[in-house]
Structure 1
């Protein structure tokens, strides 16, 4: 694969203010064009709780905008979803799209949102979500191929949506999935051993980034799709949260992927020679340009991701589960999972420090999802596995160090290399994390703090104020979390169906996100909710195939 940027569509602007779109459709648009849109000519499939439209050419999006407007007028029930699927070999630039849709001020309520969420011209599928999840737009950019044909193929299975789902785990994976399902009208109950965003998703700060491969492989395509979707998702969700008076959890500072040594510099040179990315995604910078962007002196150049930044994961998880259709059961230890008459029976013991005694919970749901990270293997009933079969999941210890703002020269943007350093917030900048494969110590250690300090000093010489008393491994505070990853370091998101279980029994697994949970979780939650609700998938088959559960099952 060579990727992934595409040329923009060619537009001829007319003297009357209209435009002529060159390409497959060769259509002309003017102020009167909305009067000629005939929604009934667009292929339409209507199912319970969802309406799906598909068209061969998206063009300037007029059919979509008119369809959205008409759907809102019909006052759909909460949880109903309008899904619009379209193809465009060469998408418009954002500036051209904004100029084109300005022809129709009567659609401004919808077109302004489309322009804001418009993706860069990158080949593949792009999922855009509007109206708190009630409107979904799936765009396929580039030549029509298997991804488009798979997406446009009618589903042979009857459409259905679960009435209820139990999710085990309230980290970033479980919280994203719970929110996604709730916005589709599904009642969700979450069981967590702690509280939302307190285990692997509990760090004060986490970077939003992806290290894209030198060759544009399916793995790189998945990482890029996840990154672009996450950037849109966090911006949109933060806008919603801000309207309710909540403090920001996403800080879009930009992110520098530093060419911190000769090996990484050579890797980035190969990456740039073999790939063409839109500048809205990333672009190379010199050491001086990088220094200007991050506000501190760096001695090498790198790759600048203008839409990157950092998040407060725990705060984010807590905000995601605030929804009328989500109930959280904290401090729970799952004691049983079994299926009876197509319903899942989940039992758990919930500790209650106030009452001084435990409470027994017995929940029932249509479907069940395990999002328990490193705890997944111990939760899985042995009856689900064949004799001698095991999950190829492993916990990796990661310790971060909390640097007092006075002890460093804080950058204004995230810097990633052998370690990451976030801008200081509330007097603390987080750096890390260690990568400890065979260390089960849950407590911060002096040795790990020293490792973080040594690596940071090598990455950014002079950024530490070595005379500050806090800049010693013995005095630093920090936190340990255990990332859950797979044998091939690729995430898992799919149905759990083994020979010992009923086919399509409604059990799912969503785990193994490793150190890229903040990047992967939003898109994979979107994809998994698509499958659970029998809606058009946010990922093409070639990428979704990489997420299947079967690949992490192994006979010992």
Structure 2
């Protein structure tokens, strides 16, 4: 697969996008655009209007129907956004000159071309000082990297083994297959989504915070990316079971509501992304008292993880080989590739790249044994439709309730530091008590029914997505790039309670890392997911 041409537009302009597409017709193009102001998408072609994100800060990835054009739009203050681009740029459309030209120069490949809209002499001199050589137009230049800075990209051998067939593993298979990789999926159960991804329903919605912290930004990125990704997959309720029915998230108490009102007053979130409802609006929607108000996420909803897995795996086509009912117990590094073996030492599969996506089962492999992953029990209760007041949307606070589907309502889930996999009456009572309190109905008894699963959770509650560290290699580490890694061994782990939305974005991130493509996240956010972050902290503390 030929590498895409990567173009950076420092101030998004629809006309420049159309011109770039025309100039590079037929070639894969990755267009990265900074958007410091709201964009009127009504003037864009229909395929971009349909995908255009709400005006919230962050990187938003869209892909054309034919797959030839990837459009990344970074919404926010332009110099901040420029510092967060993680890509190797071939061409620059320069609408303004950053105060620190080195921010731009570090992104460019040797021989990259620049076209400026306007330059004064001081700006031109700053660019020349950083390796740009201008032609007679004095607006066009070629960038020449300093000696030793240019590193040629090496195309990977596109064969991989994915261990684990839940949402993490299925998304990894699909994102790699979409790039032409041959993937072998190894799963110890007879069918996919048999562990934490086996619940009848998972809910999807964003996370909000007053300081718009890293976790909030990551969840927002994952949520919005997943909504676009699922459309490409065929649509919620069409390609897989679920509904984009909206989510009503009630404030916990008065103090919590006060913080939420401050978030709403900040103006950061447009109404179609998140709308704050006062007590009267929230109560009317819930059909029960909601004295502290609620958030309404109209694009949120629920989906059945097993059907999402099936849709992603089906999308892989002939590039996917399934090895189900195969218990991978050992990894060995052979001659430039990994060997996956069963309990008897028999070879299950071999490939240069292995991706561990088996939740807490990943730590059973010696190479991942030191990862700080915990199994957190979660029991979901299944109630017959009509057991509770019927709602057409997901309602949540300390617990969530989905709309009835195929005669069942899902309520949950507990959060227990226990290893009991049985469905317990005490956990069911806890779920019913919490949802009854939300809906202002009496607590009731119901036949014991539900499912218990175990979330894979890291200490900071964020996923692990990327190359796995090798703690057996000694040495001082100051930065993530200093941490030693296992060659060709990667992880997609720690999705906790948000596996549905973490899975597509984390898989896209890993696929981009493997292919040397622009990352679908800001640099700071990608680093926050690096599996080596825990070993780095440990070695920093050790001095």
TM-score band, normalised by shorter chain: 0.7 to 0.9
Q: Against the structure 1 CA distance between its residues 365 and 82, is the aligned structure 2 distance closer, same or farther, given a 3 Å change threshold?
A: farther
TM-score relative to the length of structure 1? 0.77
Q: Residue 84 of structure 1: which of 31, 42, 46 is its match?
A: 31
Compute the TM-score of the two structures, normalised by the length of structure 2.
0.79
Report the CA distance between 1:70 and its aligned residue: 7.2
After superposition, the Cα gap between the structure-2 partners of 1:291 and 1:51, relative to the gap in structure 1 and judged at 3 Å, is: same
> SS where residue 153 of structure 2 aligns?
coil
The yes-or-no answer on 1:407 pairing with 2:387 is yes
Q: 1: CA distance between counterparts of 2:329 and 2:452?
A: 26
1:436 paired residue number:
416
CA RMSD after TM alignment? 2.6
For 2:217, the equivalent position in structure 1 comes to 221
1:64 paired residue number: 17
Partner SS state of residue 239, structure 1: coil
Q: Which residue of 2 aligns with 1:307?
A: 299
* Matching residue of 1:510: 492
Give the deviation of 1:272 after TM superposition.
2.9
Specify every segment of 5 or more residues in structure 1 that has no aligned partner in the other structure, as ranges.
1-46, 102-110, 350-357
Contact 1:399 1:433 (C-alpha < 8 Å) held by counterparts: yes
Cα distance in 2 for partners of 1:431, 1:241 equals 20
- Could you say which residue in structure 2 is the equivalent of 1:342? 336
Count the aligned residue pairs. Answer: 463
Corresponding residue to 1:520 among 502, 514, 537: 502
Corresponding position: 1:117 with 2:51? yes
Q: Deviation of residue 390 (structure 1)?
A: 2.5
Q: Report the alpha carbon displacement of residue 154 of structure 1 after superposing the two structures with TM.
A: 3.1
For residues 363-378 of structure 1, the aligned pairs below 5 Å read 363-378=349-364
CA–CA separation in structure 1 for the residues paired with 2:301 and 2:22? 34
Q: 1:48·1:160 contact (CA, 8 Å) conserved in 2?
A: no
Q: Distance in 2 between matches of 1:133 and 1:170?
A: 26
CA displacement at 1:142 relative to structure 2: 2.1
> Relative to structure 1, is the Cα distance of residues 132 and 337 closer, same or farther in structure 2, using a 3 angstrom cutoff?
farther
CA distance 1:332–1:130, change in 2 (3 Å): farther
Q: Does 1:540 align with 2:522?
A: yes
CA deviation profile, 1:87-134 (whole Å, cap 9, x unmatched): 2211313xxx22x23xxxxxxxxx211100001112221111333755
1:268 aligns with 2:260: yes
Distance in 2, matches of 1:405 and 1:499, equals: 51
Please give the secondary structure, in 1, of the residue aligned with 2:386: helix
Residue of structure 2 equivalent to 1:286? 278
Cα distance, 1:146 vs. partner?
Answer: 4.7
Q: 2:427 aligns with which of 436, 442, 448?
A: 448
The within-5 A match list for 1:149-548 is 149=83, 150-151=85-86, 152=89, 153-154=107-108, 156-194=151-189, 195-239=191-235, 242=238, 246=239, 248-274=240-266, 276-293=268-285, 296-300=287-291, 301-322=293-314, 323-324=316-317, 325-348=319-342, 360-378=346-364, 380-381=365-366, 384=367, 390-437=370-417, 439-462=418-441, 471-473=444-446, 475-498=447-470, 500=472, 503=485, 505-548=487-530
Shift of the 159–401 alpha-carbon distance from structure 1 to 2, 3 Å rule, reads same
Q: Is the 8 A contact 1:199 1:481 kept in 2?
A: yes
Measure, in 1, the Cα distance between the counterparts of 2:460 and 2:404.
34
Does the C-alpha gap of structure 1 residues 359 and 85 become closer, same or farther in structure 2, counting only changes over 3 Å?
same
Distance in 1 of aligned mates of 2:66 and 2:357: 23
**Cα deviations across residues 250-281 of structure 1 (Å, max 9, x unaligned)?**
31111111114334323323433456211121
Once the two structures are TM-superposed, the CA of residue 420 in structure 1 deviates from its matched residue by: 0.5
Kept in 1, the 8 Å contact 2:236–2:242? The answer is no
Q: CA deviation at 1:299?
A: 2.5
Q: Which runs of 5+ in 2 are unaligned?
A: 90-106, 110-150, 474-483
CA separation of 1:341 and 1:211: change in aligned 2, threshold 3 A: same
Question: Residue by residue, what CA displacement relative to the aligned partner does 1:280-314 show, whole Å, maximum 9, x if unpaired?
Answer: 210111244335545x4342321111111111111
Per-residue CA deviations over 1:213-243 (Å, capped at 9, x if unaligned) read 222122221121112112222233233994x
C-alpha distance in 1 between matches for 2:437 and 2:382? 18
SS in 1 for 2:526: helix
1:209, distance to aligned residue in structure 2 (A): 1.6
The answer as to whether partners of 1:160 and 1:533 remain within 8 angstroms in 2 is yes
SS in 1 for 2:445: coil
